């Protein structure tokens, strides 16, 4: 086995975070956390006074925002720990677990607000529109600032993206709440408050499902989005000297940390070292994969370590090699 461990910023966005960007991300998340937590406390009080479901749903979402950011910060700390003992990759996937929990939280909130919004749509309680307008407008400003802070962080990390999606959906919620409050205040149409909550719930469903789906792809060790293993296998098989590529596996340890392993057979006149170096260069330069393990052997005679039951498709090279 010949491992390759070059580190570089990769094309297609597959490079992983370095220490400096991780520290900057923590600063952005902490600043956003302070903004959100301070305003959340004020919104809970006003929401209860105004009897507004839209405001209370915003406050509940902001509570999950603070939890999401705290969870993201904790996951970043865990992911930064070096590998030790049985954790040969360290705790890098703590960030993916954080992203999945954030996604599940969004789905749970969406379900609750869909139910409560539908109930209030049928039997709307009185709503203090002016309170809702003022609180919602201030919330828009606070969430724009918090969302802007997180937009400056590395959103190729599902962990950061999870916290960002929480804040972005909260911004949508405040915009919808402000508009609903304006309608209630000017027209007395109290069902506008429930309609706004339903709109936000649908947006939560979309964002939550996206996070859960992307995190599940990492846990199931599927190939990174946008990277076609069949294409990579065919390109490896087309390298000079290669007769076959099999046991090709491409997966992500965590966001932006793609890895690859493969068994490559070469012709009798080919240099295993030269083929390995050419394959590593191809995978790094074309696909942005810097963490590569290749088993390169002569095809004739068949190597003693040749896989009796190769996993996945085999990619044939030039049989004359």
Cα separation of 47 and 218, whole Å? 39
d(CA 36, CA 31): 9
What is the percent of the chain where pLDDT is above 70? 85
Residue 308's pLDDT is what? 64
Token code pair at residue 244: 């076959």
CB 194 within 8 A of CB 53: yes
The answer to whether 159 and 72 have CB atoms below 8 angstroms apart is yes
**Given a cut of 80, is residue 237 above it in pLDDT?**
yes
Confidence of residue 17 (pLDDT cuts 50, 70, 90): very low
Q: What pLDDT shows up at residue 296?
A: 93
Quickly count: other Cβ atoms within 10 Å of residue 18's Cβ. Answer: 11
219-233 pLDDT tens trace:
999 999 889 999 999
Please tell me what DSSP assigns to residue 307: -
Share of the chain above pLDDT 90, in %: 20
Query: What structural domains and CATH numbers belong to the chain?
Result: 8-219 (1.20.1510.10), 229-316 (3.30.70.1350)
Residue 4: predicted pLDDT: 43
Task: Please state, in angstroms and as integers, the Cα–Cα distance from residue 92 to each residue in 16, 87, 96, 111, 257, following that order.
Answer: 11, 10, 8, 30, 9
Helix (H, G, I), strand (E, B) or coil at 51: coil
Bridge partner residues of 84 (DSSP): 87
> Higher-confidence residue: 240 or 300?
240
Confidence category of residue 110, pLDDT binned at 50, 70, 90: confident
Query: Mean pLDDT, to the nearest integer, of 70-92?
Result: 81
What is the distance in angstroms between the CA of the first residue and the CA of the last residue of the chain?
22
pLDDT score at 272 = 92
Q: Pick 24 or 283 by higher pLDDT.
A: 283
Angle at 180 (CA atoms; ends 208, 113), nearest 5 degrees: 35
Q: What is the pLDDT of residues 190-212, one digit of tens each?
A: 888 888 888 888 888 888 898 89
- The maximal CA–CA distance of the chain, rounded, in angstroms, is 85
User: d(Cα 197, Cα 214) in Å, to the nearest integer?
Assistant: 26
Which pLDDT belongs to residue 265? 92
What is the CA 254 to chain-centroid distance, rounded? 9
Looking at residue 276, what is its pLDDT?
95
Within 13 A of 74's CA, how many CA atoms are on the CB side? 10
pLDDT at 321 over 80: no
Residue 24 has pLDDT above 50, yes or no: yes
Is pTM beyond 0.85 here? no
């Amino acid at each position: 086995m010949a491992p390759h461990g070059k580190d570089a910023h990769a094309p297609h966005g597959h490079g992983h975070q370095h220490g400096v960007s991780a520290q900057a991300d923590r600063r952005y998340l902490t600043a956003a956390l302070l903004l959100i937590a301070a305003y959340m406390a004020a919104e809970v009080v006003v929401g209860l006074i105004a009897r507004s479901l839209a405001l209370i749903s915003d406050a509940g979402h902001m509570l999950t925002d603070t939890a999401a950011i705290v969870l993201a910060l904790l996951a970043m700390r865990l992911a930064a720990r070096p590998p030790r003992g049985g954790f040969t990759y360290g705790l890098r996937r703590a960030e993916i677990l954080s992203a999945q929990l954030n996604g599940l939280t969004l789905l749970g909130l969406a379900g609750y607000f869909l139910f409560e919004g539908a109930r209030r749509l049928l039997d709307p309680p009185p709503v203090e529109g002016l309170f809702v307008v003022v609180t919602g407008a201030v919330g828009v400003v606070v969430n724009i600032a918090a969302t802007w802070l997180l937009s400056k962080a590395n959103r190729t990390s599902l962990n950061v993206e999870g916290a960002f999606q929480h804040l972005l959906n909260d911004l949508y919620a405040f915009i919808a709440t402000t508009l609903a409050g304006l309608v209630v205040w000017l027209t007395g149409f109290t069902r506008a408050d429930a309609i706004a909550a339903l709109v936000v719930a649908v947006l939560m469903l979309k964002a939550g499902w996206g996070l859960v789906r992307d995190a599940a792809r990492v846990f199931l060790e599927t190939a990174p989005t946008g990277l076609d293993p069949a294409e990579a296998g065919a390109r490896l098989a087309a390298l000079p000297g290669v007769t076959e590529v099999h046991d090709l596996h491409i997966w992500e340890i965590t966001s932006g940390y793609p890895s690859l392993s493969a068994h490559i057979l070469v012709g009798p006149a080919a240099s295993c070292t030269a083929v390995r170096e050419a394959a590593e260069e191809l995978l790094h330069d074309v696909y942005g994969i810097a963490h590569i393990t290749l088993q390169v052997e002569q095809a004739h005679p068949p190597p003693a370590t040749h896989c009796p039951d190769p996993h996945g498709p085999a990619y044939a090279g030039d049989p004359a090699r």
